[in-house]
Chain A
């Protein structure tokens, strides 16, 4: 789409664009280029000499069991976060859409976790599940379940999944609610007249019509789990026990800033960029086409 009416000026558009371009050139393209360059180089431990090594960093990376494990951890984590988050949000949204009285109140009460910082979410859940003082871990122990996310990798994973889902649920909920409200009531009514009950109507009409929203949320939730959950992991488990919850973003940070292995960290950054680009392309291609029946 183009405007028919335009203003004429040689310098003004450049001046208007200048601030945006300056920021993206200095803080986006330059560092991204550096990451690409560094991923092809290797530095000694003191940073005194740099050597061009081609794809060696990548070869080492994919030969590294820890990295492959981190990939698997991230995949499991992202899948759990996306599925639990979307499933629960859909359930709540479907019921919220039915409510006649108090709908606005329920919505308000469910919206605010969006405002909670991931790091704070991590601390809150850590506090509830802390093995010695947490109240939920106490209840679990009282009912015979020995919770200890400091020792048990599965418990640690469950903890960060719960915190991540809790933080993301209001976002998913708002999108589902908007999607549900845009479904024409006449369709539902026609089905009801034909004798379809609520359960049947949901699976044959509502759910298929929601599929674009669901797909969109699936991509967004995976991106969220991949990149924005760093703070949750850092606050709740620090990647532990062992490396059980060390997701890719956490590993980039850890290797680059704690381990000081810049070449490997840069190579990991490049891999992550490739993943984001792939996800964005998928999102744009399929969301445009609309998944529908």
Chain B
């Protein structure tokens, strides 16, 4: 701070506290709703004090027992599907991007630039703009309702390839030279030198891509029709049968909390890497 202005300092904290409260309010309401009975929620306005149904609601949701209208698939299973898909997407992206960035930076071969641009162009084709034809490809390959269908089409990532390419370009040439003089082949150099050096970038990307994978909605909506393969983010939507009062909002809200928990934990635990990675990948 440049100068002492007590009034401004008070205002600063005031603004920030209000911001934190406003940002947290929807989640607080969700949490409170997830601890009440369906009847308590429906009497408007619902109380803002947590109720006593916490254990009951969460057990009911996770096991899929005791349900009204809407989908009654167990959320435990959905969380598992989400976890597997998010991990496959995050790790798959990192692995194939590391390999292709390594090839592009450390080798000279015909059409190198062409491939680089081919990968670059995929930045411009988010799933949302090519849903129908991609759906056809996946269905022709028999990948509907499988983990492969949920993950592989989302695995190619120009962003990750770029980040690793940028990073590899900053690695001193002397390291590769020394490795070569010592008789190490390219893969040995990759494993023993490049990979350990990229640890921070890998961690940062992992957080971002895990969240990306976990939060997918449109794609699972298309390629899964079997309740057993619903990821949780999409499962919530299926639980809302329509109409305000008929839904078991307490259970929907418990599911929402469960769906938010893993990515929020990943962000909070790995905050330092995440912030660094976010600001660096995009610039």
**Is A112 within 8 A of B268, CB to CB?**
yes
Which one of B72-80, B124-132, B197-205 is at the A interface?
B124-132
Supposing A5-B180, A256-B131 touch, asked if A123 and B237 sit within 8 A by C-beta, the answer is yes
Q: Mark B195-214, 1 if CB is under 8 A from A, else 0.
A: 00000000000000001001
Instruction: Judge if A98 is at the interface, Cβ distance under 8 Å.
Output: yes
Which of chain A's residues has its CB closest to B253's CB? A127
**Is A19 within 8 A of B125, CB to CB?**
no
Residues of B within 8 A of A286 (CB): none
**Is A119 within 8 A of B217, CB to CB?**
yes
Instruction: Judge if B55 is at the interface, Cβ distance under 8 Å.
Output: no
Residues of A within 8 A of B9 (CB): 98
Which of chain A's residues has its CB closest to B158's CB? A24
Least CB distance from B5 to A in Å reads 7
When A and B form their complex, what is the total count of cross-chain residue pairs whose Cβ atoms lie within 8 Å? 291
Instruction: Judge if A134 is at the interface, Cβ distance under 8 Å.
Output: yes
Residues of B within 8 A of A132 (CB): 44, 244-245
**Is B133 within 8 A of A92, CB to CB?**
no
Supposing A12-B107, A112-B264, A124-B26 touch, asked if A133 and B249 sit within 8 A by C-beta, the answer is yes
User: For this complex, into which size category does the number of interface residues on chain B fall?
Assistant: 35 or more
Least CB distance from B4 to A in Å reads 11
**Is A266 within 8 A of B133, CB to CB?**
yes
Q: Which of B109, B133, B253 is in CB contact (< 8 Å) with A32? A: B133
Which of chain A's residues has its CB closest to B155's CB? A23
A28 to B138, CA, bound (A): 12
Instruction: Judge if B42 is at the interface, Cβ distance under 8 Å.
Output: yes
Instruction: Judge if B233 is at the interface, Cβ distance under 8 Å.
Output: yes
Which of chain B's residues has its CB closest to A117's CB? B215
Which of chain A's residues has its CB closest to B112's CB? A13
Instruction: Judge if B27 is at the interface, Cβ distance under 8 Å.
Output: yes
Instruction: Name B236-267 residues within 8 Å CB distance of A.
Output: 236-237, 240, 244-245, 249, 252-253, 256, 259-260, 263-264, 266-267
Supposing A1-B169, A127-B30, A276-B125 touch, asked if A20 and B97 sit within 8 A by C-beta, the answer is yes
A182 to B9, CA, bound (A): 21
**Is A227 within 8 A of B128, CB to CB?**
yes
**Is B128 within 8 A of A13, CB to CB?**
no
Supposing A27-B137, A230-B218, A273-B124 touch, asked if A139 and B45 sit within 8 A by C-beta, the answer is yes
Residues of B within 8 A of A13 (CB): 103, 107, 109, 112
Residues of A within 8 A of B240 (CB): 123, 235
**Is A3 within 8 A of B176, CB to CB?**
yes
Instruction: Judge if A291 is at the interface, Cβ distance under 8 Å.
Output: no
Instruction: Judge if B271 is at the interface, Cβ distance under 8 Å.
Output: yes
Residues of A within 8 A of B278 (CB): 171, 174
Given contacts A27-B152, A116-B27, 11 further A-B contacts (CB under 8 A): A6-B107, A20-B161, A28-B121, A92-B15, A92-B16, A108-B268, A112-B267, A123-B240, A124-B30, A178-B275, A269-B132
Nearest first, the 5 closest Cβ-Cβ pairs linking A and B are A31-B133, A117-B215, A34-B133, A115-B263, A231-B217
